[in-house]
Amino acid sequence: MIDLGILGYAEAFEVQKQYVVEVQAGARQDALLLVQHPAVLTLGASFHAENLLHPAEWYAEQGIEICPTDRGGDVTFHGPGQLVAYPIFDVAKRGKDLHLWMRQLEESVIRALATEGLQAGRLDVNSGVWVNQRKVCAIGIKLKRWVSMHGIAVNCNIDLEPFGWFVPCGIRTHGVTSISRELGKEVAVEEFKPKLIAGFREVFDA
């Protein structure tokens, strides 16, 4: 596990790429990068422009950067109070199954949320992890020669207002939530972090 602290999205992307190269070459074992990003909207490979509800200049005035990226999915938001995990794993050694990989990532979060007393699960509407029909964790990944990059974003005590300024993941029928909102108490990233790490250890036996 490598804790990157608070790091810009573009800077973290460069770190990911370096780790991917090293894992591909066999020079590094699987690594789990943990980070919080300053406010940023990331646009995935399936991004649709109509899911941004304001001009780019408006988001800039709110202090929100916009970054195109090569992960799967549409548009999502990262900001303080959200725990982002980038597993740089050799998926070829873990079944070489993209569908299984996505379900394992979800299961890691589901188990971590269970330790908070939250009953989380999946919905057919979209990948990710949901509580009470609201998304608490978004997932967007990419595999490069079967080594994974990008990953998951768990809303701990993030400000949920910005999620109303765009269409999260392109889904208009379901909302977004956080651990803090669902529990009715503040749950910070640092509090949830060891629980997410434990969830990964259980699912991936690592």
Q: Is 169 a catalytic residue?
A: yes
d(CA 5, CA 190): 10
Q: Which distant-in-sequence residues (6+ apart) come within 8 Å of 33 by Cβ? A: 2, 4, 12, 15, 16, 19, 85, 86, 87, 88
Query: 67, 137, 156, 169: which is the annotated catalytic residue?
Result: 169
Residue 148: φ, ψ to 5°: -85, 150
Two tokens, residue 52: 């941004």
Q: What order do you get walking across the sheet with 2-6 strand by strand?
A: 2-6, 31-36, 82-88, 147-155, 134-144, 126-131, 121-123
DSSP per position, 64-93:
-EEEE-SSSSSEEEE-TTEEEEEEE-BGGG
| Distance between start and end Cα atoms, the chain | 11
104: three-class secondary structure by DSSP = helix
Q: Which residues are catalytic?
A: 169
